[in-house]
Amino acid sequence: MTEHNYDFAIIGSGFGGSVSALRLAEKGYRVAVLEQGRRMTDADLELANRNARHLLWRPELGMRGILSVDLFRHLMAVRGVGVGGGSLVYAAVLLEPEEDFYTDLARRDLGIDWKKELKPHYQTAKRMLGVEPNPLFGTMDEYLRKTAVSLRAESTFGKVEQGIYFGKPGVEHPDPYFGGKGPPRLGCEPCGACIAGCPYNAKNSLDKNYLYLAEQLGVEVFPDRKVTLVIPAEGGGYQITMKHPSDSSKRYAPLRATQVVFAGGLLGTLALLFRCKRAGALPGVSDALGRVVRTNSETFVGVVSRDRSIDLTKGATISTRFFPNRYTHITQNRFPPSYNFFHLIGGPLVDDDRPTIRALKTLGSFLAHPLRSTYSMRATGWHRRVIVLTVMQLLDNQLSFAYGPRWYSFFRNRLYSVIAHGKRAPSYIPEANEAARHLARHADGVPGNVLMDSIGNLSLSGHLLGGCQIASSPHDGVIDTNHRIFDYPGLYVVDGSAIPVNVGINPSLTITAVAERCMSLIPPKDFPQPAPAGEQ
């Protein structure tokens, strides 16, 4: 087997990886993208919409879909896997953060006016991702509007901006975004299935923009490649070893690249960097690795309609939002049939900021009110009847991650969560429960919590951030303000793990803008490279 040589190898094909692939190719670099998931067809996504086995990513069990559900001692997280990364399962919500986000960044004393510096990159990201207001408004949106009114937050209620080609449902249109350089598109079928992939070619996932255009410029995308180590190579550059995520009989030659971009999302990037550090491949990676991980201060609550015949799926997965207070952001969610298995983890709505007392109250509710407490579990047609609220907060709280052998992994090395210094990321958010109660009244439904948070005291998140945060020195973070890993020239981190604070809203647009900024700082090929981190 022969080695392949590239200027840049990018590990991961989500927002950070896809932006990096296109911009580096435009600058003349030879680029390879390594993705552990599959390249999905419309037929694959249609199956992912209908069947959980085709939706979920659990390769050791033969499930190689696009949604990974990851459980840790203090956290349950969901993320996307496949060519296109998180964009395959995101709801195409693309929002700029509130002013407090920049205030939190400023407190880190990095010498950068982040609002000024990111502004042009937000505009570029919006153009590339095809942002437009959602024109649809359905029954679920009206329920959320009434909830905002009852919480005295009607002035903050509105439609979200999204990366979806709404057009005419089912009607093909020549590339509407890139002057004919992009793929043809179909108008949105309002099916509520954005978070299981879009089989109708309407959602602006990364394989329709950044990654598509990158491949037109010669970027090579290699699916089914799980990177195992990144090792400094003799004579410069790095050697990358990889394996098939589920088929041990397949062997891949090591790949060699002059520079490497880590863009596997927080869990992927942390696991790989920890593995490299522990194995002695990259022993000098900062000990701050995994120290400060953000959950976007997030949770999920649900309401299941008592009307068994209702169908709330008409529309995009997320279409409206509001702010019950300055630091809390709430959106609704629709689901396709493949998400029906989530009804099994729905329990009663219970308040208490003391985890043990809340768990006991939840168990007591099952005993005292078994029918109401098991309503979600027993609901037929759950995906048609449920309204799930994603509640995110722009607050300072955190978890940590470490790496090593654990008994529940048969003493194999793995990522595991740790309680961090400072305020822990929440498992209970009072504003979420209050919103669910008001929503249940307007929707004639039964509100509930996810049992992982009410009984297990787990934080819930679909938007993990941090862990490789930007800092001024390796004592405080893993990368410098140019996203370069301290003490390792040519290694970059360009994904959500680089963002050091909670965003408080859906962070996809911010990750894209941050990646655009990073790539703008890398000179074209054959131009002098800037001094590496730690050597300025």
Catalytic residues: 463
Q: Which ranges of 245-404 does DSSP label H, i.e. alpha helix? A: 265-279, 355-368, 370-373, 375-378, 382-385
CA distance 459 to 193: 25
Count other Cβ atoms within 10 Å, centred on residue 390. 25
Cβ-based neighbours of 436, under 8 Å, separated by 6 or more: 301, 302, 303, 349, 389, 447, 448
Rg (CA), the chain: 22
- How crowded is the C-beta side of 417, counted as CA atoms within 13 Å? 23
Q: How far is CA 162 from CA 121, 127, 203, in A?
A: 17, 11, 9
Count other Cβ atoms within 10 Å, centred on residue 487. 16
- 185, containing H or E segment: strand 185-186
* Contact predicate 224/40, CB 8 Å: no
CA angle (301, 307, 311) in 5-degree steps? 75
CA distance 279 to 230: 10
Q: Which ranges of 184-264 does DSSP label H, i.e. alpha helix? A: 210-216
Q: What is the largest CA-CA distance in the chain?
A: 72
* Assigned token pair, 6: 């590239």
CA angle (517, 523, 525) in 5-degree steps? 135
* Assigned token pair, 111: 């010498």
CA angle (274, 280, 283) in 5-degree steps? 65
CA distance 465 to 479: 14
* Assigned token pair, 381: 């047609």
Q: How far is CA 222 from CA 18, 36, 206, 397, 444, in A?
A: 13, 8, 15, 37, 49
* Contact predicate 20/261, CB 8 Å: yes
Q: Measuring CA to CA, which residue among 431, 430, 457 is closest to residue 355?
A: 457
* Assigned token pair, 344: 């099994």
Q: Which residues pair with 4 in a beta bridge?
A: 255
